[in-house]
Chains A and B, each alone.
Chain A
Amino acid sequence: DVQMTQSLSYLAASPGESVSISCKASKSISNYLAWYQQKPGEAYKLLIYSGSTLQSGTPSRFSGSGSGTDFTLTIRSLEPEDFGLYYCQQYYEKPYTFGAGTKLELK
Chain B
Amino acid sequence: EVQLVESGGGLVQPGRSMKLSCAASGFTFNNYDMAWVCQAPKKGLEWVATISYDGSSTYYRDSVKGRFTISRDNAKSTLYLQMDSLRSEDTATYYCARMGYTTDYYYLDGTYYYYYFDYWGQGVMVTVSS
Contact = CB atoms under 8 A, between A and B. Distances in A.
Given A44-B120, A49-B100, A32 B45 contact: no
B45 A98 contact: yes
A96 B61 CA distance: 9
Contacts of B31: none
Contacts of A45: 120
A contact patch SS: loop
Interface string B53-90: 00000010110000000000000000000000000000
A97 B38 CA distance: 11
Interface of A: 32, 34, 36, 42-46, 49-50, 55, 87, 89, 91-92, 94-101
Interface centre among B117, B122, B123 (most CB of A within 10 A): B117
Contacts of B114: 32, 91-92
A26 to B, nearest CB: 15
Contacts of A44: 95, 97, 117, 120
Interface of B: 4, 44-47, 50, 59, 61-62, 95, 97, 100, 102, 114-123
B47 A46 contact: no
Contacts of B119: 43, 46
Contacts of A100: 44
A54 to B, nearest CB: 12
A44 B114 CA distance: 20
B47 A96 contact: yes
A96 B117 CA distance: 10
A32 B117 CA distance: 12
Given A49-B100, A97-B47, A98-B45, A34 B121 contact: no
A49 B100 CA distance: 9
Contacts of A55: 118
A34 B117 contact: yes
Which 10 interchain pairs have the tightest Cβ spacing?
A: A44-B120, A96-B47, A98-B45, A34-B116, A43-B120, A91-B116, A95-B61, A100-B44, A46-B118, A49-B116
Given A32-B102, A89-B45, A95 B118 contact: no
